[in-house]
Amino acid sequence: MKIGVLYGGTSAEREVSLSSGKGIVKALKENGHEVIGIDFHPERLGEVMELDVDIVFIGLHGKYGEDGRIQGLLDMLQIPYVGSGVLGSAVAMDKAKSKKVLKDSGIRLAKDLVLYKSDDNHSIDLPFGFPVVVKPNSEGSTIGLTIAQNEEELHRGIEEAFRFDNTVILEEFISGTEVTVAVMGEKGNVQSLPVVEIVPKNAYYDYESKYAEGGSEHIVPARISQDFTEMIQCQSVIAHELLGCETYSRVDYIVPKDGTEPVFLEVNTLPGMTPTSLYPDAAKEVGYSYEQMIEHLIQLGLKKK
């Protein structure tokens, strides 16, 4: 087949996307496909509009890639692509809106407060205590994230997060084990892969822990109870479907130290595909090599037609 791969982009996650794209292109070539790679830029839409391919694998992360915009363009061009459509991409990317969608789903959500750049954010009435997690509403890969221990750090963190987004979300900090669930399948037959536990080398699972070689250890299956394993595998499919995601996604959680129910963090509709990424590790656990996983996602993408 002739397959287009979009990677790079202009978001704060560009470096990660370049690495994801490299891996995807290599795997597709090894699988015998003809590959056209495009380092995507919104000012060079002509490169996408002139694509003559059977399907596109989107290896972009963050804005202009994961938020539904490129999906809308591909829909208009009638080019099939791997992954979620416009609505699922846009809603999952918006952390505050995705939590509103999941509010009555039975999934445990962290308490939060949403701030807008246009408002006066000098005096904030927090509905929970410190520490507070401060993050841009529509960025991934812990870009612009701060864990504030006091009022001063909170205001600095808010300022930092507003550099990346006009909407910022504050959440209660929950101490525990970070885990993630890869989800895969066509509509009506969506399944969760084994739960992956993340053990960061730094104090928190920050950008360096995610992408630096040896920055974190991935333990599969996660060292959590069978009950919690089954619970979050089931909840991940629910979140994937309620948010309108398609083909694949990755759902992140914290399993609290106090033994209470796992807490949902977010859904990634275009999870990282770098050599250190979580999704390929989960797929490996059920017998997929990296190349087989990419091929399977291509076949699922073609079924969306």
Residue 209 has pLDDT above 50, yes or no: no
- Domain carrying residue 287: 91-108+175-303
Distance CA 35, CA 54 (A): 10
Query: Domain containing 258 — which CATH number?
Result: 3.30.470.20
Quickly state the pLDDT bin for 202 (edges 50, 70, 90): low
Residues 116 and 195 in one domain: no
Whether residue 141 lies in the annotated active site:
yes
Mean pLDDT along residues 78-84: 97
- 89-146: pLDDT as tens digits: 999 999 999 999 999 999 999 999 999 998 887 889 999 999 999 999 987 657 889 9
pLDDT by residue (tens digit) across 240-288? Answer: 999 999 999 999 999 999 999 999 999 999 999 987 799 999 999 999 9
Q: Is 266 flagged in the annotation as binding? A: yes
Question: Does 13 participate in catalysis according to the annotation?
Answer: yes
Provide the Cα torsion 229, 231, 233, 237; round to 10°. -170
Clarify whether residues 100 and 221 are in a common domain.
yes
Beta-ladder partners of 184: 191, 248
- If phi > 0 it is left, if psi is from -120 to 50 it is alpha, else beta; for residue 216 that is beta
Catalytic residue list contains 277 = yes
Contact 220, 180 (CB under 8 A): no
pTM: 0.92
| CATH number, residue 76 | 3.40.50.20
Residues 295, 218 share a domain: yes
What sign has the CA pseudo-torsion 57, 91, 188, 250?
positive
Half-sphere CA count of 6, side-chain side, radius 13 A: 33
pLDDT digits (tens, 9 = 90+) for 5-55: 999 999 988 999 999 999 999 999 999 999 999 999 999 999 999 999 999
Question: Are 17 and 9 a contacting pair, CB within 8 Å?
Answer: yes
Domain count of the chain? 3
Whether 298 has a pLDDT exceeding 80, the answer reads: yes
Per the annotation, does 252 bind a ligand? yes
Among residues 13, 171, 178, 197, which one is catalytic? Answer: 13
| 84, 141, 192, 236: the active-site residue | 141
* Distance (Å, whole) CA 255 – CA 275: 25
Q: Which residues pair with 7 in a beta bridge?
A: 39
Q: Is the pLDDT of residue 207 over 70?
A: no
103 and 116 inside one domain: no
Q: Please check if 166 is assigned to a binding site.
A: no
- CATH number of the domain where residue 133 is located: 3.30.1490.20
